[in-house]
Amino acid sequence: MSNVIPETQVIDRRTIDAVLAGDQAAWDLVVKRFDPLVWAAVRAYGLSAADAADAMQGAWLRLVENLHTIHDPGRIGAWLFTTARREASLLRRRNQGERLVADPVEPGGADEHAPPDPALAVLAADEGRRLWQTVETMHEPCRSLLRLMAASPDAGVHQLAGRLGMPAGSYGPTRGRCLDRLRSMLTVQETTA
């Protein structure tokens, strides 16, 4: 598995000061650092590429409008991840038929008061690798299902179910059970580590 978040690419106070001073190159660094994270966050909601792009743009626009509230550069990733998830969740609700002409917004500052998102603990590259090592020890159909899910982000349920040899109606519930199982295995690792 590739290391998609180079740990050396740290966004520090100096970078943020440059961003605040209007330095586009410094902003581009921030985007480069967190782009894969924000994209993964929104794509996990089963959004089309166009909707995912929309949700992602919302997260970046919110960061632009809240730049002056950043006190701890170490929390930008957490804030972006949480904000992107929120936008994606709203879009999915909309796509599922809820009427939200303009989405409700409750933008907050990009500061350390935002509650930490539990997912952030596993966002470090090492943890991602460990997660996949755990997946590789899972029984079928979970191992194949999770591999396929990661490898085919644009595939529909029918396609995924077909490739796994299961009825389309079984894919969602099976995926849910596999994710539950993965969570349990991680918890066991946690308590025995």
Partner 1 sequence: MMRPSPTLDDESLIAVLRLASGQDPVPGHVSAAARAAFALRLPGAVAARPVVVPAPAGVRSAEQSCLLRFDAGALTVDLEVGSSDGLVDLAGQISPWPGAGSWVEVRTPCLTESRELSQAGQFAVTGLPPGWFSVVCHHRDHPPVATSWTRIRP
**Which of 64, 169, 170, 173 lies at the binding interface for partner 1 (CB under 8 A)?**
64
Helix (H) or strand (E) holding 26: helix 24-43
10 lies in the binding site for partner 1 (CB under 8 A)? no
Beta carbons within 8 Å of 27's beta carbon, 6+ residues apart: 19
134 with 126: CB under 8 angstroms? no
149 lies in the binding site for partner 1 (CB under 8 A)? yes
109 with 62: CB under 8 angstroms? no
Token output for 183: 């969570």
Which of 66, 39, 59 has the alpha carbon at shortest distance from 153? 39
CB of 43 to partner 1, least distance (A): 6
22 φψ region: left (φ > 0), alpha (ψ -120 to 50), beta (else): left
Which residue matches tokens 């959004």?
A: 47
Please tell me the total number of residues recorded for the chain in this structure: 193
**Which of 18, 71, 93, 131 lies at the binding interface for partner 1 (CB under 8 A)?**
131
Q: Where does this chain touch partner 1 (CB under 8 A) — which range of 8-16, 136-144, 161-169, 177-185? A: 177-185
Q: Where does this chain touch partner 1 (CB under 8 A) — which range of 8-16, 37-45, 136-144, 155-163? A: 37-45
Residue ranges in 76-105 that form contacts with partner 1 under rule CB under 8 A: 85, 87-89, 94, 101-105
**Which of 11, 16, 33, 56 lies at the binding interface for partner 1 (CB under 8 A)?**
56
Closest CB to partner 1 among residues 125, 166? 125
* Residue 138 φ/ψ, nearest 5 degrees: -80, 155
**Which of 15, 16, 43, 174 lies at the binding interface for partner 1 (CB under 8 A)?**
43
114 lies in the binding site for partner 1 (CB under 8 A)? no
Residue ranges in 157-176 that form contacts with partner 1 under rule CB under 8 A: 175-176
Q: Reduce the DSSP state of residue 22 to 3 states and report it.
A: coil
**Which of 12, 98, 151, 165 lies at the binding interface for partner 1 (CB under 8 A)?**
151
